[in-house]
Structure 1
């Protein structure tokens, strides 16, 4: 049976600051992120299955990514909880802001690793996460491939 890759694009707005960084990104700032999620599998061959001919219903993939990533990270401030930014994060949370504390420096590279783990755990057994692309600006992005992270 043929293996087919299915890709769905998502977007969300988020801010972050990179503690200890030697450039402008040490300051609070935000991005319009674009996340491309590619899964791989074989189309369902059972003609009695309502998903006949699909690798995965785009709606099912959308639910997974929205639940795990988009709805969580959209319009949030992301901080590494192991830095002095924790004080700022706590103050923002107390003022009603959506703040996410992570165990890593919130770079595009580290965020995509986190996203891969979250999406992989929710996929059906017959579907594999093939790759992710997280675009931070019009000209900058990170890519994650399962084949390089086994």
Structure 2
């Protein structure tokens, strides 16, 4: 059967700071991210299946991405846990702010790699993660493609 790509787009607000960076992004700031998630698979051919004709129900894909990415990163501030930002993270956490400590520099490039791993492990076996696009601003985004990895 033919392979079809399905894409769903998600939005979330996240703050971050790039420790050691030589530009403005070393300061804590935030973005209105848009994450496009594209999966690939064959539409279900069993006419008795309630999902007949679908690669994946958009609501099933939404549940995965919401639980793994949106609910975790939305309105949180992300810091690399291997930098002195951990002191700022602790202070923010102590004041009931949502803080994520990750083991990478929280650039769009590294976030999209992290997201690809989290989403791929949750997909049904018959469906593969094809690509992700993480848009940080209107004119800047990072893309991840399974075929490149």
Q: TM-score range by the shorter chain?
A: over 0.9
* Secondary structure of the corresponding residue to residue 40 of structure 2: strand
1:65 corresponds to: 65
In the TM superposition, structure 1's runs of 4+ consecutive aligned residues that sit over 4 Å from their partners are: none
Q: Mapping of 1:64-143 within 5 angstroms?
A: 64-143=64-143
* Secondary structure of the corresponding residue to residue 124 of structure 2: coil
* Secondary structure of the corresponding residue to residue 142 of structure 1: strand
Q: Distance in 1 between matches of 2:142 and 2:119?
A: 16
Q: Distance in 2 between matches of 1:38 and 1:124?
A: 14
Cα drift, residue 135 of structure 1: 0.1
Q: CA RMSD in A?
A: 0.2
* Secondary structure of the corresponding residue to residue 6 of structure 1: strand
Task: Write out per-residue CA displacement over residues 70-108 of structure 1, whole angstroms, 9 at most, x where no aligned residue.
Answer: 000000000000000000001100100000000000000
State how many pairs are aligned.
149
Cα drift, residue 147 of structure 1: 0.5
2:146 corresponds to: 146
* Secondary structure of the corresponding residue to residue 147 of structure 2: helix
* Secondary structure of the corresponding residue to residue 100 of structure 2: strand
1:44 corresponds to: 44
TM-score by length of 2: 1.00
Q: Distance in 1 between matches of 2:128 and 2:27?
A: 37
TM-score by length of 1: 0.99
